[in-house]
Chains A and B, each alone.
Chain A
């Protein structure tokens, strides 16, 4: 069974731009969660989707948004990028909401 895939793996953007990251969960998994990981803050929860519905959202500004498609694939978007948005963005899928399977992450650098 293929694991969670994330694209792109690396991304360099400049301040003020926007970015869209993609996540394909494990086949059959309908729950997708997104996390931001930085050296100082660790893994911070962004949001969770299930069957195209956002069920919870972390404490991030409205510049961070996401969506999930009918095939469970998910995207997250960050608008008006700031230097502090540089991080590893991780997506995780799960079958019943407990054990999470993580993708390799997208490393975003904002210059």
Chain B
């Protein structure tokens, strides 16, 4: 069956450290993968998109890697801050105008 898996447990890290979130998928061949941030009671906000032929993408303190052989994406936030505390969602686009979202990982950054 098709699945997208993100760390179901919350990730707690200290301010200034690098947070690394994982997204694994099975039985999908995504054209691209996206990461979103969602704060409580609000809609997700787009962060980064990485295509199947790209290995890595960066934007300010954010970095995404995409390994289509391992069927895995890693999302890194460097020099994390308490304001980075949120739920982070990974999303796959496999064609057919349909995006599939993972359940998300909650990140807590302690000051």
Main secondary structure of the interface of A (DSSP, over half): strand
Q: Judge whether B10 is part of the interface by a CB distance below 8 angstroms.
A: no
Within 8 A of A (CB), among B85-111: 89, 93, 96-104
Q: Which residues of B contact A31 (CB under 8 A)?
A: 97
**CA gap between A105 and B102 in the complex, in Å:** 18
Q: Which residues of A contact B102 (CB under 8 A)?
A: 42
Within 8 A of A (CB), among B19-68: 32, 34, 41-46, 49
Contact A99–B43 (Cβ < 8 Å): no
Within 8 A of B (CB), among A44-91: 44-45, 48, 50, 55-56, 58, 90
Q: Which residues of A contact B103 (CB under 8 A)?
A: 41-42
Q: How many residues of A are in contact with the other chain, CB < 8 A? A: 25
Q: Of all chain A residues, which has the CB nearest B100?
A: A45
Q: How many residues of B are in contact with the other chain, CB < 8 A? A: 20
B51 smallest CB distance to A (angstroms): 9
Q: Of all chain B residues, which has the CB nearest A99?
A: B46
Contact A56–B43 (Cβ < 8 Å): no
Given the contacts A42-B103, A56-B97, A98 and B49 also touching, CB distance less than 8 Å: yes
A4 smallest CB distance to B (angstroms): 8
Contact A43–B101 (Cβ < 8 Å): yes
Contact A98–B93 (Cβ < 8 Å): yes
Contact of A92 among B32, B41, B43, B100 (CB under 8 A): B43
Given the contacts A98-B49, A98-B93, A99-B34, A33 and B99 also touching, CB distance less than 8 Å: yes
Q: Which residues of A contact B49 (CB under 8 A)?
A: 98-99
A7 smallest CB distance to B (angstroms): 14
Report which A residues bind B (CB closer than 8 A): 4, 31, 33, 35, 41-45, 48, 50, 55-56, 58, 90, 92, 97-105
